[in-house]
């Protein structure tokens, strides 16, 4: 999975990048020559940790996310860089960091902190980029229709109509992810890599003095900016970046001192991202390796097996399935089988989140 972080200068996007990757990228550098910061991190999974304790495998393999922190230059500061936009369009999720904290030592480019305004600044640039792409394609279609055969013309006209519907939606100031589109239409335009069609995680970067106001802030933001294809979370990137440099015990103690309870917001953001993309994970476990396999919800057992290796899907016979919870309670696969709780499923079985699977196949 590839997630891109964007935001206007001094929004805290690089601090967020450092927090999620445990990195040390320089913050506050906005040169047009900047290259993106890139880091790959493992997705925390306590289920995998528990399986590793039972099997003591040679290796434990977590799902991974590649995070990319893009410079603001090329998005809005000096005009739209279509090469950068193409790169953004290839992302699985777009993380838009917006500043809510006030700090005199970090002056805002606009002279004041205004979350609503700042959300609009960058969203408008992304809409312009998609609009420009559509207008160029529509112009080419009009040229192509002058020379194509009648049978081919009808297909071009249908595609042009779809693009014009998207164009009108963008001109109304809306992102493409909020446009009612059939799945076939989404697949038809997927190759364009429209930026505003990508699921978006809107991260409101709050200050330490706002940690006690989270519920009120998120309700306000949701009322104003919540829409389909967008999720909203509040994170204090400065605190999270500090926590990322500590060991687990120190981080827990620091969280307690700040009155922070529940799931860490970065872990919560990953969970929300999985949900936005319709993903969950099945698990494989053994003495060689324990591993988490992210897949689309709704996949059948053979399709899931194909994520491990194409031979497993091609030669699929059946799959042995253990519920993660029942396996942990039993203590071993052998004990679970003795209890009659190890299931055998066929080709129509829909894989559930947390299934521990052993695929039987023949090629």
Select the more confidently predicted residue: 188 or 79: 188
**320 in the same domain as 264:** no
Note whether residue 250 is domain-resident: yes
**105 in the same domain as 18:** yes
**340 in the same domain as 191:** no
Q: How far apart are CA 171 and CA 42, in angstroms?
A: 39
**Residue 147 CB-density burial (10 A; 0-12 exposed, 13-18 middle, 19+ buried):** exposed
**Contact criterion met (CB below 8 Å) for 60 and 289:** yes
- What is the β-pairing status of strands 59-61 and 64-69? unpaired
**340 in the same domain as 268:** no
pLDDT score recorded for residue 79: 57
Domain boundary among 242, 276, 310: 276
**311 in the same domain as 243:** no
Q: How far apart are CA 14 and CA 17, in angstroms?
A: 5
| Helix ranges, 74-114 (H) | 82-89
**310 in the same domain as 224:** no
pLDDT in tens, 10-25: 899 998 998 888 877 7
**114 in the same domain as 70:** yes
Note whether residue 293 is domain-resident: no
The distance between the two most distant Cα atoms of the chain, rounded to a whole number of Å, is: 72
Mean pLDDT estimate for the chain:
89
Write down the pTM of the prediction: 0.87
- How many Cβ atoms sit within 10 Å of the Cβ of residue 241? 21
Any idea what the Cα angle at residue 128 is, between residues 94 and 90, rounded to 5°? Answer: 35
Note whether residue 260 is domain-resident: yes
Note whether residue 149 is domain-resident: yes
**53 in the same domain as 16:** yes
Which CATH number do you get for residue 348? 3.10.20.30
Radius of gyration of the chain (CA): 24
**62 in the same domain as 172:** yes
pLDDT in tens, 192-225: 999 999 999 999 999 988 888 888 998 999 998 9
Model confidence at 33: pLDDT above 60: no
Q: What is the domain count for the chain?
A: 2
Least confident of 63-72, 165-174, 182-191, 259-268: 259-268
Residue 319 tokens, joined: 């799959």
**116 in the same domain as 79:** yes
pLDDT score recorded for residue 25: 76
Q: Which residue has the tokens 């112009």?
A: 139
List the 355-361 sheet strands across, edge first: 59-61, 289-296, 279-284, 355-361, 316-323, 343-345
For the chain, first and last CA: distance in Å?
30
Q: Which residue has the tokens 């922190």?
A: 69
- What is the β-pairing status of strands 316-323 and 289-296? unpaired
| Helix ranges, the chain (H) | 13-21, 46-55, 82-89, 115-144, 150-171, 183-189, 214-225, 237-243, 248-257, 265-277, 301-308, 310-314, 324-330, 333-338
**Contact criterion met (CB below 8 Å) for 18 and 25:** yes
Note whether residue 266 is domain-resident: yes
pLDDT score recorded for residue 75: 61
With the CA atoms of 136, 177, 126 and 156 taken in that order, what torsion angle do they form, in degrees rounded to the nearest 10? 0
φ/ψ of residue 238, rounded to 5: -65, -45
**324 in the same domain as 245:** no
Note whether residue 292 is domain-resident: no
Which CATH number do you get for residue 26? 3.40.50.300
Note whether residue 70 is domain-resident: yes
- How many Cβ atoms sit within 10 Å of the Cβ of residue 74? 20
Select the more confidently predicted residue: 108 or 80: 108
**Enclosing domain of residue 332:** 298-361
pLDDT score recorded for residue 31: 46
Note whether residue 284 is domain-resident: no
Under the banding of pLDDT at 50, 70 and 90, the label for residue 32 is very low
**346 in the same domain as 250:** no
Model confidence at 324: pLDDT above 80: yes
> Could you give the C-alpha distances from 47 to 24, 167, 284, in angstroms and in order?
29, 45, 11
Under the banding of pLDDT at 50, 70 and 90, the label for residue 269 is confident
pLDDT in tens, 95-154: 999 999 998 888 888 889 999 999 998 899 999 999 999 999 999 998 888 888 777 788
């Amino acid at each position: 999975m590839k997630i891109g972080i964007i935001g206007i200068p001094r929004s805290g996007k690089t601090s967020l990048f450092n927090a999620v990757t445990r990195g040390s990228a320089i913050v506050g550098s906005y040169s047009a020559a900047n290259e993106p910061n890139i880091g790959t991190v493992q997705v925390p999974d306590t289920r995998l940790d528990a399986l590793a304790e039972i099997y003591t495998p040679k290796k434990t393999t977590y799902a991974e996310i590649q995070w990319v922190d893009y410079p603001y230059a090329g998005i809005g500061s000096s005009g739209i860089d279509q090469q950068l936009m193409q790169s953004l369009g290839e992302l699985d999720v777009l993380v838009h960091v917006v500043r809510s904290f006030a700090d005199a030592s970090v002056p805002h480019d606009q002279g004041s902190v205004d979350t609503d305004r700042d959300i609009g600044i960058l969203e408008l640039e992304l809409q312009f980029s998609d609009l420009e792409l559509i207008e160029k394609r529509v112009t080419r279609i009009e040229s192509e229709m002058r020379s194509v055969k009648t049978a081919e013309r009808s297909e071009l006209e249908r595609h042009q109509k779809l693009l014009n519907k998207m164009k009108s939606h963008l001109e109304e100031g809306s992102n493409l992810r909020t446009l009612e589109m059939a799945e076939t239409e989404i697949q038809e335009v997927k190759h364009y890599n429209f930026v505003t069609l990508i699921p978006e995680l809107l991260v409101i970067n709050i200050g330490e003095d706002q940690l006690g106001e989270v519920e009120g802030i998120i309700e306000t933001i949701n009322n104003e900016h919540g829409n389909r294809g967008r999720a909203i979370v509040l994170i204090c990137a400065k605190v999270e970046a500090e926590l990322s440099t500590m060991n687990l015990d120190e981080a827990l103690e620091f969280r307690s001192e700040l009155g922070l309870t529940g799931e860490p917001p970065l872990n919560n953001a990953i969970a929300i991202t999985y949900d936005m993309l319709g993903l969950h994970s099945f698990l494989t476990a053994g003495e060689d390796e324990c591993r988490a396999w992210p897949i689309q919800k709704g996949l059948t057992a053979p399709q899931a097996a194909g994520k491990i290796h194409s031979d497993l899907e091609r030669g699929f016979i059946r799959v042995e399935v253990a519920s993660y919870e029942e396996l942990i309670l039993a203590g071993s696969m052998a004990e679970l089988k003795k209890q009659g709780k190890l299931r055998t499923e066929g080709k129509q079985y829909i894989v559930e989140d947390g299934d521990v699977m052993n695929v039987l196949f023949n090629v």
